[in-house]
Amino acid sequence: MKDNDENEKWRARLTSEQYRITREKGTERAFSGAYWDCHEDGVYRCVCCDAPLFDSAHKFDSGSGWPSFWQPLDEAGIARAEDTSHFMRRTEALCANCGAHLGHVFPDGPAPTGLRYCINSASLRLAAKE
């Protein structure tokens, strides 16, 4: 019963695309999300729980078609899990606060971390810097 109530809460709060991506571990098409080519300054927050996740200062153009960051705002804000779906072995990135699926982390990013947090736009909300 609790899972059903939880799902209904998310369905009421999110668009169908946001729900599919964050709660069902979906992925948006490359080059289709609102933030893949966004250059505004601000903090990217979880669309589900509003937790601060990434700073625009850490965003870079990876050429992948998804917003990419070389580090999170706070390491503790991002949980990681092994993802072996689609016959691949990847590291899933999740909101540590609410468990929302954000995207994946790859070891092919720029210095200084060498990481690429490849994140779905639909899992984020940009809070512009004032």
Which of 46, 48, 95, 118 is labelled catalytic?
Answer: 118
Angle at CA of residue 29, ends 54 and 90, nearest 5°? 60
CA nearest 122: which of 64, 6, 36? 36
Burial of 58 (0-12, 13-18, 19+ CB in 10 A): middle
Task: Reply yes or no on whether 118 is catalytic.
Answer: yes
Catalytic residues: 118
